[in-house]
Structure 1
């Protein structure tokens, strides 16, 4: 495991036979992820894979949509 900086995490995970990965405890703690939570997986061939809690993305969409239109 790499040296951790507060609010950040870097590490590796191994893909199991059934395509599953284990999210490291440090990441689960950092993002308050619990069994039963729904995560959103985003993938782009050029940019890679990102995983986020679904509510984080929905909050960002709400912020974008709630901004007032310029007059």
Structure 2
């Protein structure tokens, strides 16, 4: 079954030790290897659990921090300009 945000790969269940098996079709199609690390998100009210490959989260974090550095630089330029404009107005 296809959905516009992904694909349903079937069902699974949790064992006594809290382990959940990811269906083989999902592992193959998504390139999930044994020992792969995941970040686990969940919503108790909605009863949802989402697994995201750690490498994807690392890429997102790097992207975010790189963009935030650029934003900080732009903000500093704006604030520096604003400060100098205020000083000029005060001198007048």
TM-score exceeds 0.5: yes
Q: Which runs of 5+ in 2 are unaligned?
A: 75-92
Would you say 1:69 and 2:71 are equivalent positions?
Answer: yes
SS in 2 for 1:49: strand
Q: Highest CA radius of gyration, 1 or 2?
A: 2
TM-score (structure 2 length as normaliser): 0.60
Task: Kindly state the Cα deviation for residue 65 of structure 1 after the two structures are TM-superposed.
Answer: 1.1
Q: Deviations over 1:21-52 (max 9, x none)?
A: 11012221232111111122122323521111
The 4+ residue runs of structure 1 with deviation greater than 6 A are none
Would you say 1:15 and 2:14 are equivalent positions?
Answer: yes
Higher helix share: 2
Partner of 1:30: 29
Paired residue total:
68
Segment of structure 1 superposing worse, 7-16 or 32-41: 7-16
C-alpha RMSD over aligned residues: 2.2
